[in-house]
Amino acid sequence: MILKGRIFHFLDKGNIDNPENSFEYIEKGGLVISGEKIIDIGEFNKIILQYPNYEVIDHKNNIIFPGFIDLHNHFPQVQVIGSYGTQLLEWLRKYTFPEESKFISKDYSKQQAKKFIKLLISNGTTTSVSFCSVHKESVNALFEEASKKNMCMIAGKVMMDRNAPKNLLDTPQTSFQDTQDLISKWHKKNRNFYAITPRFAITSSPEQLKLAGDLSNSNPTCYIQTHLSENRDEIEYTLSLYPKFTHYLDIYLKNGIVNERSLMGHSIHLNDDEISIFNQTRAVAVHCPTSNLFLGSGLFPFEKLYNSNVKLGISTDVGGGTSYSMLNTLDAAYKIQQFRNFSLNPKYSFYWSTLGNAKSLGLEDEIGSFKKGSFADIIVLDSSSDMVSKIRMETCETLAEELFILQTLGGAHSIKSVYIAGKLLL
């Protein structure tokens, strides 16, 4: 089929101050899909001559854009999102751990997985990197549901053997064995990838972190995800549990879980040594803006990390985050940088949440843009989908302005259609 409309995607990062040459925008475009993949892109008038027998789906004045990639979220927190009044450590104790305990049930895991995938898709997210609960069943449920949609899912069982309720704890040995079993079952099956997932240093004993490093070593194509330097109390507690280490990142580094496949959620309060380790190892600092505002965690040092050439990701962190929408997430990222006297360019933000996150995963040949041969993971954005945006769009003159309106005023209601691997799902 051919999708007709205003086609927009990124070719490269470009310069953050002047990203003009880093994207392709075709006002009257045609995007050609065969099976699961994108096979061509160009001016509609030319494309239709080349593919005369293809079905044309006209998206009119809407923007045809790559599906969003959410680099960090928590599937067992569908019922935790929007929980009142606490910061990180108390929030985990009061809301998160009790809810995650329910995922011992296979049926509950399946029910929630269905809801979670539905929420992602309806918000235009076509690739997700997700934490599951400590239970193997939660991982099976999520990968099964993602596989039904042929969606790219990167996920793993949290390894946690201390400082949480007993019914949420594994042991170093069971977490090692369960992770190994889940890797054999799911890694590189359908569009799934496994992420080795020590939750964070507070809930992992030194022995467990060491085994996470061993798993990373023996499974060199798996990702690694964890949390780092989110909140001041968390950092203080962490360093008291690991007194021999020079800083938070040092704990992960010495245990062998910091490399180019590592996704470090939050990464807010970093010292210069940690920043230089990020730079050298090519680990990814994953920004979680709505969560950082909601839990009062801190203001991500975007400019400093960007200028230090650190690989950066962006994500919702649902349920600490308050929205499944990457548009809302970009809006929050912009507002956080305003506190730091830095105005994040909307073109960079849209790059970041698609091709940028794809590059952070090393998957830029498969997702994140309309490069020929990529999976046809596509969303259709309507910039005038509610009264506020519709009226504001009356005076909009440039694409950059339109993107900024979409991220500031848009949300789930801006997503008109979603295709995953060429199949219309919304």
In angstroms, the CA 105 to CA 404 distance is: 43
Q: Which of 99, 145, 161, 230 binds ligand GUN (CB under 6 A)?
A: 230
* Nearer to ligand GUN among residue 291 and residue 345 (C-beta): 291
Question: Please, what is the minimum distance in Å from the beta carbon of residue 231 to Zn ion?
Answer: 11
The region of 88-96, 146-154, 207-215, 380-388 touching ligand GUN under the rule CB under 6 A is: 88-96
Phi then psi for residue 247, to 5 deg, are -160, 175
| 2-10 and 23-34 strand pairing | antiparallel
Helix locations, 282-372, DSSP H: 289-294, 302-307, 326-339, 346-351, 357-360
Question: Please, what is the minimum distance in Å from the beta carbon of residue 99 to ligand GUN?
Answer: 10
Please state, as a whole number, how many other Cβ atoms lie within 10 Å of the Cβ of residue 178. 18
* ω into 319 cis (within 30 of 0): yes
Question: Contact at 8 Å (CB) between 195 and 156?
Answer: yes
Q: DSSP state, 188?
A: T
The partner in contact with residue 230, picked from Zn ion, ligand GUN, none with C-beta cut-offs of 5 to 8 angstroms by kind, is: ligand GUN
Q: Which of 66, 67, 124, 265 binds Zn ion (CB under 5 A)?
A: 265
* Nearer to Zn ion among residue 265 and residue 356 (C-beta): 265
Binding mask 185-214 for ligand GUN (x = CB under 6 A): --------------xx--------------
When asked if residue 301 is in the footprint of ligand GUN (CB under 6 A), the reply is no
CA–CA–CA angle 181, 69, 189 (5° rounding): 30
In angstroms, the CA 358 to CA 12 distance is: 11
The partner in contact with residue 96, picked from ligand GUN, Zn ion, none with C-beta cut-offs of 5 to 8 angstroms by kind, is: ligand GUN
Question: Contact at 8 Å (CB) between 320 and 91?
Answer: yes
Phi-psi region of 166 (alpha: psi -120 to 50; beta: other; left: phi over 0): alpha
Q: Which of 227, 261, 347, 371 binds ligand GUN (CB under 6 A)?
A: 227
Three-class DSSP labels, 228-261: ECCCHHHHHHHHHHCCCCCCHHHHHHHCCCCCCC
Q: Which of 100, 137, 234, 317 binds Zn ion (CB under 5 A)?
A: 317
Question: Please, what is the minimum distance in Å from the beta carbon of residue 349 to ligand GUN?
Answer: 21
Size of the site for ligand GUN (CB under 6 A): 11
* Nearer to ligand GUN among residue 227 and residue 247 (C-beta): 227
Q: Which of 29, 313, 320, 346 binds ligand GUN (CB under 6 A)?
A: 320
> Contact residues for ligand GUN (CB under 6 A)?
74, 88, 92, 96, 199-200, 227, 230, 291, 317, 320
Residues lying near Zn ion in the complex (CB under 5 A): 265, 317
